[in-house]
Amino acid sequence: MTPHQRCTHRKLTNMSPNLKFLPLPILLCLILIFTIPALAQSEAELVLSFSKDFGYASLSGTDIQGTFGMKASGPVNLVKVVFLIDGKSIGEDSEPPFKVQFTTDSYSLGVHTLSAVGTTSDGQELKSKEYQRNFVSAEEGWKAAMTIAGPILILVLGISLASILGPLLMGRGKKGSLPLGAPRSYGGAGGTVCPKCGRPFAMHLLGLNLLVGKLDHCPYCGKWSLVTHATPTQLKAAEAAELALAAGDTPQVTGMTEEEKLRKELDNSHFQEM
């Protein structure tokens, strides 16, 4: 140990016990004195971020194609930011939020360096980190995007087909299997009333959802219809119509089918509730 090191060590050793007797406010002041410069230095950094406005970006964000934005943030006294691609200005902004938009098709294909330089009100110049981005062609961008979106589209198509074919296959052999007025559960998907035969049934979870309703298959008449969720009152009315038909209370009308009789009874029950 050199004489200078021994002297420094001796001073620190002599000071350490004294720190134990310093009042808490003084210790806090000492901590602030040493931490404030570090905080001020971090706040003076210019942070550059990117956004995809339209186009393609790889999962890592390295390969990009289309229209993108660059946005800079820094200290409160930041007054101007100049945005750069390969060291050349592509635009500047003098009001927060400091941002600029660019299109990759305006530049050559390949790797480019993106950065920004900011200026504070006291004349300090701040430089952001430099980022490497690979500008790819539109064809390459769409090809890469399809490799990601393709499996998703296939999955959506498969679910749509299952929602149509599933209820049809599951409904085979079950047509008319539930007697009129028999107790039933409408499950988590809820119940609806078939507009063709008037019988209430549980909506299938795999039914194809459309904007105005769900395309679903009635297990009784075997017909497809665009249906919506029925209220408990509507379901009870349809069940009452079934019971009335099962009990033989519906007036017999020559030439009417069973579906037409049930439909007529359902309409009568609606009128009676009003």
Q: Is the pLDDT of residue 6 over 80?
A: no
Residues 269 and 179 occupy one common structural domain: yes
Residues 213 and 261 occupy one common structural domain: yes
pLDDT, tens digit (0-9, with 9 covering 90-100), for 183-242: 778 877 888 999 888 889 888 776 677 777 888 888 888 888 889 888 988 888 888 888
Residues 55 and 121 occupy one common structural domain: yes
- Is 157 a domain residue? no
- Is 25 a domain residue? no
pLDDT, tens digit (0-9, with 9 covering 90-100), for 103-141: 999 999 999 999 999 999 999 999 999 999 999 998 887
Residues 190 and 261 occupy one common structural domain: yes
- Asked if 113 contacts 68 with a C-beta cutoff of 8 angstroms, the reply is no
> Distance between CA atoms of 270 and 231, rounded to whole angstroms?
13
Who contacts 13 (Cβ-Cβ below 8 Å, separation ≥6)? Answer: none
- Is 255 a domain residue? yes
Provide the number of structural domains found in the chain.
2
163 token code pair:
């929602």
Who contacts 197 (Cβ-Cβ below 8 Å, separation ≥6)? Answer: 218, 220, 221, 223, 259, 262, 263
- Is 40 a domain residue? no
Question: Which structural domain range is residue 177 located in?
Answer: 169-273
Query: Pairing mode, if any, of strands 131-135 and 63-73?
Result: parallel
- Is 163 a domain residue? no
- Is 218 a domain residue? yes
Residues 135 and 173 occupy one common structural domain: no
